[in-house]
Chains A and B, each alone.
Chain A
Amino acid sequence: MASASAKKIRPKYLSLPALLFEIRLPVPGWVSILHRISGALLFFPFVAWVLYLLDMSLRSPQGFDYVRQYAALPLVKLGLLVLVWAYAHHFCAGIRYLLLDIDKGVDLATARLTSWIVIIAALLLTLWVGTKIW
């Protein structure tokens, strides 16, 4: 019988510093965790924010003007950019997952390439919207 002291302690919980600095994710891993983080952000607060903006802007001409002025504030623009990035990343990574589901791009080289494409495409889309609203 194996001695208790030789037994490894399972499950092993990782400390926050280990999570942040010791574990080095491969690119597909980054796409994955960013897909999760962007999804969580979209659920809250971004859906609520978009509904609020839609509600105000459709309510009355005054509301429409209010949203326009509100969206011109630098901090709000920054928030909108985060929203656009989250949506763009979730969108692009989502398409990648749909393709992986039907066995497209499963081999390592392609999976890494498409991961980079997702990350860069999301940033380019964000940049594009950024140049439009600034």
Chain B
Amino acid sequence: MKRLVVGAHYGLRDWLAQRVSAVLMAAYTLILLVVLLRSPPSSYAAWKDLFAQGWMRVATLLFAAGLAWHAWVGVRDILMDYVKPDGLRLTLQVLVLLVIASYVGWAIQILWR
């Protein structure tokens, strides 16, 4: 029997997205940790060179994209749990989306300057 209970059916997709993005971010974290421990960037030149590399820029952008989706699912869950008035929750959700979009925009600006 096919049962459509309620909602927009984004539950499983978002659940999966949160886990995929988590694995992606964990991998980036470990790689960055190894890079930083191997050669601690002691000067501006070394630090700038690290983020001038193509793979580093793309990896960091992927991290930012993963973070954006991950944070959206997580923060939305928190808001759905604790903020009951619909209007206030919607307002906060829009605010959260704006903050996430700004984060991603800022990250792109930093990486490709």
Contact (Cβ within 8 A) A43 B29: no
Q: What 0/1 readout, one digit per residue, does chain B (8-45) give for beta carbons within 8 Å of chain A?
A: 00000000000100110010010000000000000110
Contact (Cβ within 8 A) B26 A51: no
Tell me whether chain A's interface is mostly helix, strand or loop, or mixed. Answer: helix
> Which chain A positions have C-beta within 8 A of B106?
51, 55
* A-B pairs, 6 with minimum CB distance: A64-B44, A61-B44, A43-B71, A39-B74, A55-B110, A51-B106
The answer to whether A47 has its CB under 8 Å from any CB of chain B is: yes
Q: What 0/1 readout, one digit per residue, does chain A (95-108) give for beta carbons within 8 Å of chain B?
A: 10010010000000
Bound complex: CA A74 to CA B106 (Å):
27
Number of residues of chain B lying within 8 A (CB) of chain A: 23
The answer to whether A78 has its CB under 8 Å from any CB of chain B is: no
> Which chain A positions have C-beta within 8 A of B110?
51, 54-55, 58
> Which chain B positions have C-beta within 8 A of A72?
none
Candidates A40, A44, A57, A98; contact of B47 at CB < 8 Å: A57
Q: How many contacts A-B (CB < 8 Å)?
A: 50
The answer to whether A94 has its CB under 8 Å from any CB of chain B is: yes
Contact (Cβ within 8 A) B75 A98: no
The answer to whether B103 has its CB under 8 Å from any CB of chain A is: yes
> Which chain A positions have C-beta within 8 A of B22?
94, 98
User: Taking beta carbons and an 8 Å cutoff, which residues of B are in contact with A?
Assistant: 19, 22-23, 26, 29, 43-44, 47-48, 51, 67, 71, 74-75, 78, 96, 99, 103, 106-107, 109-110, 113
Contact (Cβ within 8 A) B107 A40: no
The answer to whether A116 has its CB under 8 Å from any CB of chain B is: no
Known contacts A58-B51, A58-B113, A101-B19; is-contact A43 B44 (Cβ 8 Å) = no
Would you list 9 pairs from A and B whose C-beta atoms are within 8 A, ordered by A residue? A39-B74, A39-B75, A43-B96, A47-B71, A48-B103, A57-B44, A58-B113, A98-B23, A101-B19
Contact (Cβ within 8 A) B74 A43: yes
> Which chain A positions have C-beta within 8 A of B109?
55
